[in-house]
Amino acid sequence: MSTTGDIPPDLWEECSSCHQLLYSKELTEGLWVCGKCGYHMRLSVWRRLEITADPGSFAELDTDLPLVDPLDFPDYLPKLQQARAKTGMDEAVLTGTAAIHGHRVGLGLMDLAFIGGSMGWVVGEKVSRLMERCVEEKTPAVMFIASGGARMQESLISLMQMPKTAGAVGLLNQAGLPYIGILTDPTYGGVTASFAFLGDIIIAERGAAMGFAGPRVIEITKVKLRPEVQTAEFQYQHGMIDLLVARSEIRETLSDLLDWFMNGK
Amino acid sequence: MAESDNQPAADSAPAPPREAWEVVQTARNPQRPYTLDYVNRLVERFTELHGDRRFGDDGAMVAGLGFLEDTPVAVLGQQKGRTAAERRERNFGMARPEGYRKALRVMQLAARFGRPLLTFIDTPGADCLEDSESRGISEAIAVCQRDMFALPVPVISVVVGEGGSGGAIGIGVGNRVYMQQYTYYSVIMPEACAAILWRDPSQNKRAAEALRVTAPDALRLGLIDGIIPEPPGGAHLDYEAAAVAVKEQVVAALEELRGVPSAQLIAERYGKFRRMGAPAGV
């Protein structure tokens, strides 16, 4: 693959796991799963939306929340502004109403490209509002999760988004509405120990990295963990996940589950 | 209960900690009173309960039933050890899934019998090793938080040492949350923050400042309800005085919440956490 410099970038993409070059058209048709090694490449929320929701069904919610820097944390505001410019997202989660195979749902999608998909006040607020709206509108909630963990730059306010979102899941539970969480690569930290692992059904994409402590914290605290521990496969083997699926199966699986939960309601 | 009751003789009181990093070190002082030191001084006829009925018993999480003045209460808290053997037995105050599931069991007991719940927070963080991952540490902490919102009884939480991230908030969803004067509460250890942001572990002091980990910070940000004063220099210098101050605050909070209808306790608890961190006007 020494000729990569001559190849137009829009025709080819490199697998971020095995680094083979893949023909873009095939990659798109294969839902951005590497045809060579099977790696499920990380998706932007826009790509995820495109392969999940019925075309044209998505209506974004809560687009008007302000950028917050409650602690006046060094270099944080510029970082937020750069993340906005880079991703075209207002924060690390996109929320809205959508249809999946005709089922109305509240849909949340997280994007790792926005400060590692970390959860600060805005993310916690959007997730909580989404779940509260599902309660009002009596719709299921579906969350695609990808997160490096808590938003360090919001410290304790970030931590308090964990109980806040966990409490919002509790409202869905009490309302008798299903919540399906799909854990994608990677899902770590504060998000795992709140809404990510509270799904009525928990689905994980094959090969996704996940765990309670993020990789950087593990590295710094010199905790010894075998690499295979922080994987979807390990969590599945230990009973923490209902379904370990290939990306191509997710939409059909969601459709069947939503049918089961909502049929006749 | 001898293990946690060996209070050191107080020598001449040093200057009180002022900088955030000094507060972190005071909160971690190995001579600081631990959860059982407070339980033994506040709670009469304490019966410690063991086991999560699923896997085992976690020494890092203490749970039990007792009386605060004459009120029957359920009590939870992370427990650290003092000797090398006790530290191992208590896993350095880092609770495992079975600890959180034991906590949940006792929370639900309190709910069923209408007894207020008192939680003491003192942990560097929850345990994140393979055994804890294999038994669902994330799920256990998430469920504790979710279900604390549904408790129909008053819940009072006090940070008595380290408020270490998810491990702390797992038992921290209170109607009232207090911090002792020289404790800290943070989403990440300052050392880890320094290493991640500045790739320099010697920036601990700067990280502790930036993270706003102290009790006055948390109060100003509207994340806690009050600060419990400590004896000059820190709780480790006078266990009795420290415990008296904690007891006064907890008893006052219980008095405030006595007779509040369950639905209101639940609604106020959710509303309180729901609003945390919201900028003015949102």
pLDDT digits (tens, 9 = 90+) for A178-202: 999 999 999 999 999 999 999 999 9
Cβ within 8 Å, pair B136-A239: yes
Residues of chain A with pLDDT under 50: 1-4
Strand partners of residue A147: A187
Q: Which long-range contacts (CB under 8 A, 24 or more apart) does A222-227 make?
A: A223/B128, A223/B129, A224/B129, A225/B128, A225/B129, A225/B130, A225/B133, A226/B130
**Rounded mean pLDDT of chain B?**
94
Residue A116 backbone dihedrals phi, psi, to 5 degrees: 65, 20
Whether residue B65 is predicted with pLDDT greater than 50 in this model: the reply is yes
Confidence of residue B282 (pLDDT cuts 50, 70, 90): confident
How many other CB atoms are there within 10 angstroms of residue A122's CB atom? 24
The interface predicted TM-score of the complex, written ipTM, equals 0.94
Cβ within 8 Å, pair A218-B185: no
Which among A152, A163, A238 is the nearest to B134, CB-wise? Answer: A238
Which pLDDT score is estimated for B7? 57
The dihedral of CA B243, B244, B245, B248: what is its sign? positive
Cβ within 8 Å, pair B141-A193: yes
Cβ within 8 Å, pair B195-A220: yes
Compute the count of residue pairs across chains A and B with CB atoms less than 8 Å apart. Answer: 178
Per-residue exposure over B238-267, b if at least 16 CB sit within 10 Å of its own CB, e if not: bbeebbebbbebbeebbeebeeeeeeebbe
Cβ within 8 Å, pair B195-A71: no
Which pLDDT score is estimated for A7? 55
| Minimal-distance CA residue of chain A relative to B222 | A157
Cβ within 8 Å, pair B166-A190: yes
Which among B149, B166, B212 is the nearest to A156, CB-wise? Answer: B212
What's the rounded Cα separation, in Å, for the pair B49 and B157?
Answer: 19
Cβ within 8 Å, pair B196-A152: yes
| Minimal-distance CA residue of chain B relative to A234 | B134
| Minimal-distance CA residue of chain B relative to A70 | B277
CA dihedral A210, A215, A221, A224 (to 10 degrees): 60
Residues of A in contact with B124 (CB under 8 A): none
Residues of A in contact with B149 (CB under 8 A): 163, 166-167, 170
pLDDT by residue (tens digit) across A68-119?
999 999 999 999 999 999 999 999 999 999 999 999 999 999 999 999 999 9
Residues of A in contact with B126 (CB under 8 A): 193, 212
Which pLDDT score is estimated for B54? 95
| Minimal-distance CA residue of chain A relative to B211 | A155
Residues of A in contact with B23 (CB under 8 A): none
Which among A121, A173, A174 is the nearest to B277, CB-wise? Answer: A121
Residues of A in contact with B137 (CB under 8 A): 193, 212
Residue type, B251: V
Cβ within 8 Å, pair A70-B279: yes
